[in-house]
Amino acid sequence: MIRLPSFTYLAPRTLAEAATAMAEHGRDAMLVAGGTDLYPNMKRRQFEPKVVVGLRGIRELRGVRVESGGWTIGAGTTLSEVSTHPAIARDFPALATAAGLVSSPQLRNMGTIGGNVCVDTRCNYYNQSYEWRKAIGFCMKKDGDICLVAPGSSRCWAVSSSDTAPVLWALGARLRVVGAGGERIVPIAALYRDDGIEYLAKRPDEIVADVLLPPADGWRSAYLKLRRRGSFDFPVLGVAVAARMNGDVVREARIVLGAVASLPRPAERAAAELVGQRITRDLVTRVADLAAGPSKPLDNTDFTHPYRKRVTRVFVARALAAIGGLGDGGPASEEVA
């Protein structure tokens, strides 16, 4: 069996306690929520924290609430809870879809939405055992100093592989982040950095406490996920599209691509093209072509990267068609909401 390295486990009862513990242990400590990302990584020795701070015992992290300004989803809410919550399915269908497409049913019972937005970036030179990484020569994300995908590169190109992050971004979500020194509320876009190693723009002691969603009025959303199998597999391309409609005219739109860069990648020009327009086939084609531009996958996930790029166009078109009510037989119905 492949086993965990040893560590000390802390189980704080409040966010404040957790943040203090994190601040105290600094780089030696890591947070764990569901553990479905962290523990496999620790077993492969991608992380070897001396202290693990468990968030599971913190009540205030659980649950979905409606408040005046919109919806609040506690970071400790499991993906199963998110994907089956009736109000989320009604108001933010793309989020319910994305959460419901993460890995497997068992994993969704364990994994949390907070863990999902903070999930480690991935690369098939990196998500390997210690022995494997040693055999190929360690890369800079862990234990080494070069990049094996882009050997000349001075940075790491590991891939943002969260299903919910691009959707939350497209829906205009904000995060409440609590640290030892206080809390702040930031748009989710501000959580991410374009770097495969330091992919989160937050201090280690900062804990994502809540995901805040604005009211859903007028917004329609869709999420499409590319992967080899209908279960288990991480996205190797995610397409999240959200549009606020006024009648059949688009008022506001966001298109965010997942798993094609070290962070969720907005396709801003493409989204701008939608505004003020009725969604027609021609428009869909034009926007899809534009949206594929920012999709720049590298050869470090499943499927070939030119293929992932090509499917970006198709998926954007299909997601837009779904939102615009241009029924086409393309996407599997389970993938579109």
Partner 1 sequence: MKVRIALTVNDEVHEALVPVHKTLLEVLREDLALTGTKHGCELGECGTCTVLVDGQPVLSCLALPLETEGRRITTIEGLADGARLHPLQQAFAELGAAQCGYCTPGILLTAAALLSERPSPTRQEVKEALAGNLCRCTGYTKILDAVELAALRMERART
Partner 2 sequence: MTKNDFAVVGQPLPKVDAWAKVVGETRYADDLFLPRMAYAKLLRSSHAHARIRSIDTARARALPGVYAVVTAADLPPVKFGILPVSQDEEALCADKVRMVGDPLAAVAAVDEETADLACRLIDVTYEPLPALMSIFDALAHPEVRIHEYGDGPNVHKNVALQFGDVDAALVGADLVREDVFFFEGNTHLPMEQHAAVAHWTSDGKLTLWSSTQTPHYVHRVLAKVLATPAAHIRVIATPVGGGFGGKTDPFSHEIVACQLSKLTGRPVKIALTREEVFYTHRGRHPVLMWIKTGFTKRGDITGCHLRTWLDGGAYGSYGVASTFYTGVINPVTYKIPVYKFEGARIFTNKPACGPKRGHGTPQPRFALECQLDKAAEQLGLDPADLRRRIVVEPYTKTANHLTVTTIGLGECIDKVVEASGWRAKRTRYGVTAAMGSQPTGGSREGGAGCTHLVQPEPPSPKKPGIGIACSAYMTGAGTAIYWNDMPHSGVIVRADRSGGVAILCGATDIGQGSDSVLAYLTAEVLGLEPVDVQVFPADTSLTPVDLGSYSSRVTLMCGMAAIQAAGRLRDAIFKAVARKLEVDPAALVARERKIGVPDDWDKAVSFARAVELGEAMHGVLAFPGSYAPPKRAGKYKGGGVGPSPCYSYSACVVELTVDEETGTVDLRDVWIAHDIGRTLNPLLAEGQVEGSIYMGIGEALMEEQVFRKGLHKQPSMLEYKSPTTLETPEIHTILVETDDPEGPFGAKEVGQGPLLPVIPAIANAIHHALGIRIDEVPITPDKILKALELRRRGKPPRVGPERLPLFTFKDPLVVESAFGQPADAIGVRPFQS
Ligand X SMILES: Cc1cc2nc3c(=O)[nH]c(=O)nc-3n(C[C@H](O)[C@H](O)[C@H](O)COP(=O)(O)OP(=O)(O)OC[C@H]3O[C@@H](n4cnc5c(N)ncnc54)[C@H](O)[C@@H]3O)c2cc1C
Q: Give CA–CA dist 334/291, Å, rounded.
A: 23
Buried b / exposed e over 95-123, threshold 16 CB at 10 Å, is bbbbbbbbbeeebbebbbbbbbbbbbbbb
Residue 50 vs 269, nearer CB to partner 1: 50
Binding mask 289-318 for partner 2 (x = CB under 8 A): -------------xxx-xx--xx--x----
Query: Should residue 234 be labelled a site residue for ligand X when binding is judged by CB under 6 A?
Result: yes
Binder of residue 327, out of ligand X, partner 2, ligand SF4, none (CB less than 5 to 8 A by kind): partner 2
Binder of residue 126, out of partner 2, ligand SF4, ligand X, none (CB less than 5 to 8 A by kind): ligand SF4
Part of the chain binding ligand X (CB under 6 A), chosen from 233-241, 242-250, 296-304, 320-328: 233-241
Query: Binding to partner 1 (CB under 8 A): which residues in 20-49?
Result: 34-36, 39-40, 43-44
Binder of residue 147, out of ligand X, ligand SF4, partner 1, none (CB less than 5 to 8 A by kind): ligand SF4
> Phi/psi at 257 (nearest 5 deg)?
-100, 135
Nearest CA to 157 out of 264, 308, 261, 47 is that of 261
Query: 36: how many CB neighbours lie within 10 A of its CB?
Result: 23
Binder of residue 79, out of partner 2, ligand X, partner 1, none (CB less than 5 to 8 A by kind): ligand X
Binding mask 189-208 for ligand X (x = CB under 6 A): ------------------xx
Residue 5 vs 187, nearer CB to partner 1: 5
# of chain residues touching partner 2 (CB under 8 A): 37
Q: Give CA–CA dist 124/156, Å, rounded.
A: 12
For the purposes of burial, counting CB atoms within 10 Å of the CB of 333, is it exposed (0-12), middle (13-18) or buried (19 or more)?
exposed
Angle between helices 305-323 and 281-292 (to 10 degrees): 150
Query: Should residue 110 be labelled a site residue for partner 1 when binding is judged by CB under 8 A?
Result: yes
* Six-digit token string for 96: 């319910």
Query: Should residue 230 be labelled a site residue for partner 2 when binding is judged by CB under 8 A?
Result: yes
Residue 33 vs 267, nearer CB to ligand X: 33
For the purposes of burial, counting CB atoms within 10 Å of the CB of 128, is it exposed (0-12), middle (13-18) or buried (19 or more)?
middle
Chosen residue from 59, 90, 134, 269 binding partner 2 by CB under 8 A: 134
Q: Give CA–CA dist 243/220, Å, rounded.
A: 5
Shortest distance in whole angstroms from residue 119 CB to partner 1: 13
Residue 92 vs 234, nearer CB to partner 1: 234
Decide: 86 and 207 in contact? Cβ < 8 Å: no
Nearest CA to 97 out of 261, 295, 302, 240 is that of 240
Decide: 203 and 292 in contact? Cβ < 8 Å: no
Residue 32 vs 267, nearer CB to ligand X: 32
# of chain residues touching partner 1 (CB under 8 A): 30
* Six-digit token string for 276: 């003020």
Binder of residue 54, out of ligand X, partner 1, partner 2, none (CB less than 5 to 8 A by kind): partner 1
Pairing of strands 207-213, 174-179: antiparallel
For binding to ligand X (CB under 6 A), which residues are involved?
30-38, 40, 55, 75, 79, 102-103, 107, 110-112, 114-116, 118-120, 161-163, 207-208, 232-235
